[in-house]
């Protein structure tokens, strides 16, 4: 329970990236003993969310441009395959549920209640890959949860963020309803890549996301044209153009 409590606080940004504290102070703050706290911190450290420091201190993993790119390279690579497997298995009942999840997201978004919108959002994406098997979906769930840290922190870095995301969700569902796994994968990967590029552009505008582009071209080639059109003349679009030209990545 302590692990889940701390993990949720980190993923939702309630504990800031880079925050550092002693185990004693944290135990006192949470009203728990240090033994279960140490075990919870070890679990979070194995997941890459907490870093151990000398003198029994713990530091929350900071945001990193390379980390967010690695995260989305893994996510688009696995999820493009998972959605191709899953789309042919979706039933009319599945699509009725998915439409309901879209409506829930709209409801909470209209009220700027992004915390509550997150549950139907995660379930929406989970339903689209459920046919890929337990091991795959478990790994993708963790990747999605780690991506949530960045989305919550940088989600408003792009103007008209929700209308854009809403339109992308709609396009993904329409492709799946047409039983077109390849197009669904292209649209899904473009959806994730836009988020990743917007976050990277906000963190480090001079970064060249070459690895992300390679992943997109490999698992969902059509996603590259979709995202180029969506991001034209934006900072994220200029980053993608640099990656397409093969410009050298810069240290950030």
Q: Does 102 lie in the same domain as 42? A: no
Query: In this predicted structure, what is the pLDDT of residue 159?
Result: 56
Q: Which residue in 171, 151, 172, 250 sits closest to 209, CA to CA? A: 250
Q: Residue 59: enclosing H or E segment and its boundaries?
A: strand 57-60
Q: Does 34 lie in the same domain as 146? A: no
Q: Answer whether residue 252 is part of any domain.
A: no
Q: Does 149 lie in the same domain as 40? A: no
Which of 17, 35, 60 corresponds to the end of one domain? 60
Mean pLDDT for the stretch of residues 116-128: 95
Q: Does 213 lie in the same domain as 100? A: yes
Residue 76 scores a pLDDT above 90? yes
Q: How far apart are CA 147 and CA 24, in angstroms?
A: 29
pLDDT tens per residue, range 127-169: 999 999 999 999 999 999 999 899 888 866 565 688 989 999 9
List for the chain the helix, strand, coil content (%; round to 5): 75, 5, 25
Q: Does 87 lie in the same domain as 48? A: no
Domain of residue 29, CATH code: 1.10.10.10
Domain of residue 167, CATH code: 1.20.120.530
Range of the domain at 78: 65-245
Residue 251 scores a pLDDT above 60? no
First-to-final CA distance of the chain = 36
Judged by average pLDDT, the poorest of 17-21, 121-125, 159-163, 186-190 is 159-163
Judged by average pLDDT, the poorest of 53-67, 85-99, 228-242 is 228-242
What's the pTM value of the predicted model, to 2 decimals? 0.87
pLDDT, the chain, mean: 90
Q: How far apart are CA 166 and CA 169, in angstroms?
A: 5
Q: Does 53 lie in the same domain as 69? A: no
Q: Does 159 lie in the same domain as 39? A: no
Domain count, the chain: 2
Query: In this predicted structure, what is the pLDDT of residue 81?
Result: 97
Q: Does 138 lie in the same domain as 14? A: no
């Amino acid at each position: 329970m302590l692990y889940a409590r701390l993990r949720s606080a980190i993923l939702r940004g309630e504990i800031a990236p880079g925050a550092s504290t002693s185990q004693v102070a944290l135990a006192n703050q949470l009203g728990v003993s240090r033994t279960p706290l140490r075990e919870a911190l070890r679990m979070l450290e194995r997941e890459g969310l907490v870093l151990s420091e000398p003198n029994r201190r713990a530091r929350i993993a900071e945001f990193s441009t390379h980390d967010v790119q690695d995260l989305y390279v893994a996510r688009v690579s696995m999820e493009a395959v998972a959605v191709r497997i899953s789309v042919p298995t979706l039933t009319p009942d599945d699509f009725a549920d998915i439409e309901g999840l879209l409506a829930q997201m709209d409801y909470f978004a209209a009220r700027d209640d992004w915390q509550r919108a997150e549950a139907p959002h995660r379930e929406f994406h989970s339903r689209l890959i459920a046919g890929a098997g337990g091991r795959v979906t478990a790994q993708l769930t963790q990747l999605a949860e780690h991506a949530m840290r960045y989305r919550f922190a940088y989600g408003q870095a792009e103007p008209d963020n929700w209308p854009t995301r809403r339109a992308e969700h709609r396009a993904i569902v329409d492709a799946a309803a047409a039983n077109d796994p390849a197009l669904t994968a292209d649209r899904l990967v473009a959806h994730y890549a836009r988020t990743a590029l917007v976050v990277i552009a906000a963190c480090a505008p001079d970064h060249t996301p070459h690895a992300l582009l390679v992943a997109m071209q490999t698992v969902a080639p059509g996603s590259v044209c979709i995202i180029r059109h969506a991001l034209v003349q934006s900072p994220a679009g200029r980053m993608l153009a640099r990656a397409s030209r093969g410009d050298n990545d810069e240290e950030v």
